[in-house]
């Protein structure tokens, strides 16, 4: 933004794209007589009282915006934003519900992890036993099958613990007892 001398106002306005008027004058300082335009001009009148005469709008190349207009635009914008509040609150509620469900499910994650680890120990011992006992034992195939079984078992337990129809703390304790698990929380 460049501030120019009022003595050269006509030529300066003619060269400008935007004119910002912010004076303390009691009467308009800019009128249509000062405008000799060859290109569009946006005039922002930030003065109170108005320092740009309404007659400038008779020139089709002029767009006049007064501080009052800006306040009106701000009010309309605030109204539009206020109308969006219920939708924003619904989104927040949905995200909170998802987060709370996630946090609730994290309570039994250490138990499921310990269960998976225990089943992996059992698998390793059994594969080692079978490798020694069976000629041409296909260890790779046994690993694949065992891992799939472990995944299915832990998924069943996780789904059970997520169910609303069970007491999660009691179920977690039972799983720990049955499989002799110790978790970081215990």
CATH classification of the domain holding 99: 3.40.50.720
Q: How many domains does the chain have?
A: 2
Same domain, 75 and 132: no
CB-based contact 142:152 (threshold 8 Å): no
Domain endpoint, select from 72, 105, 138: 105
Same domain, 55 and 140: no
Domain span holding position 101: 1-105
Domain endpoint, select from 105, 135, 167: 105
Q: What backbone torsions phi and psi does residue 156 show, to the nearest 5 degrees?
A: -60, -45
**Per-residue exposure over 73-92, b if at least 16 CB sit within 10 Å of its own CB, e if not:** eeeeeeeeeeeeeeeeeeee
Alpha helix stretches (DSSP H) within the chain: 9-15, 67-106, 109-133, 139-162, 168-178
Banded pLDDT at 176 (limits 50, 70, 90): confident
If phi > 0 it is left, if psi is from -120 to 50 it is alpha, else beta; for residue 163 that is: beta
pLDDT reported for residue 173: 86
This prediction's pTM:
0.46
Which tens digits make up the pLDDT trace of 1-37?
Answer: 677 777 888 988 999 999 999 888 898 989 999 998 9
pLDDT reported for residue 122: 94
Give the separation between CA 140 and CA 8, rounded to whole angstroms: 90
Give the separation between CA 30 and CA 37, rounded to whole angstroms: 14
Which tens digits make up the pLDDT trace of 122-165?
Answer: 999 999 999 999 999 999 999 999 999 999 999 999 888 887 77
Domain endpoint, select from 77, 105, 133: 105
Same domain, 4 and 66: yes
Same domain, 88 and 121: no
Banded pLDDT at 184 (limits 50, 70, 90): low
């Amino acid at each position: 933004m460049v501030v120019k001398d009022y003595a050269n106002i006509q030529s300066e306005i003619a060269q400008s794209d935007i004119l910002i008027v912010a004076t303390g004058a009691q009467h308009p300082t800019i009128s249509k007589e000062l405008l000799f335009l060859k290109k569009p001009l946006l005039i922002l009148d930030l003065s109170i009282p108005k320092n740009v005469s309404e007659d400038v709008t008779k020139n089709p190349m002029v767009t006049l915006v007064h501080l009052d207009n800006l306040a009106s635009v701000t009010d309309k914008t605030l109204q539009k934003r206020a109308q969006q509040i219920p939708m924003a609150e619904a989104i927040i509620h949905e995200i909170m519900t998802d987060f709370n469900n996630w946090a609730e499910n994290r309570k039994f994650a250490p138990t499921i992890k310990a269960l998976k680890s225990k089943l992996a120990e059992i698998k390793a011992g059994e594969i080692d036993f079978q490798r020694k006992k069976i000629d041409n034992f296909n260890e790779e195939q046994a690993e694949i099958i065992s891992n799939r079984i472990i995944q299915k078992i832990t998924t069943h337990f996780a789904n059970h613990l997520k169910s609303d129809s069970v007491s999660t703390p009691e179920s977690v304790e039972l799983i720990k007892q049955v499989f002799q698990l110790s978790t970081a929380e215990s």
